[in-house]
Amino acid sequence: MLGLVKIRVHKGINLPLKDAFHSDPYVVVTMGDQKVKTSCKKNNCNPVWDDELTLALKNPNVQIVLTVYDKDTFSKDDKIGEAKIDIKPYLKALEMSYHQDLPNSVKVDKVQPNRDNCLAKESCIIWENGKLIQDMTLMLQNVECGEVKLQIEVIPKMLSEDAFYIA
């Protein structure tokens, strides 16, 4: 294990209706064989979850996949949409900034939306209270509308007081 990835799933924006009059959305986050999920929010196309999910970082080349579902009572849950998170830019920024005496709120790097990520807009990686955080808004794929706001933080496995390991 190389460390931990904390994902704070904040909220969904303009999620489409999957049932006749409402959606009961929740988020499933997978990374390789790991799977965690948020709580379900009833009757809400703009849910606020504010759930913190944690995954083990075993391979930095494995993408994080965020999938939004609509909870159904009598049938299989409907998939609303999904988005992929590439954490390589974050890990690069972590390597560059580690053990530097940075003041709070310093922008270490910026990630632009492109074909390799699902970012809705530019995302900054910021040094805050001795750690790097990245707030992002992801556009859901394979659906007509919908975004999810979240924050990621990687807690690297320490090899010693002066070194950490992220391959």
pLDDT recorded at residue 98:
65
pLDDT in the model for residue 7: 97
pLDDT at residue 94, rounded to an integer? 80
The answer to whether residues 149 and 13 touch, using CB atoms and an 8 Å cutoff, is yes
Q: What is the per-residue DSSP string for 25-67?
A: EEEEEEETTEEEE----TT-SS-EEEEEEEEEE--TTSPEEEE
Of residues 159, 102, 162, the one with CA closest to residue 132: 102
State the amino acid at position 12 in one-letter form.
G
10-residue mean pLDDT profile of the chain (167 residues): values are 91 89 93 97 96 94 95 91 90 76 87 90 89 93 95 75 52
> What pLDDT score does 161 carry?
52
pLDDT at 160: 46
Which pLDDT belongs to residue 45?
A: 94
Helix then strand then coil, % of the chain, to nearest 5: 5, 50, 45
Picking from 142, 141, 151, 35, the residue whose alpha carbon sits closest to that of residue 90 is 151
Rounded to two decimals, the pTM is 0.89
How far CA 80 is from CA of 6, 13, 40, 72, 85, in Å, comes to 23, 12, 13, 12, 17
pLDDT at 91: 84
- pLDDT attached to residue 96: 76
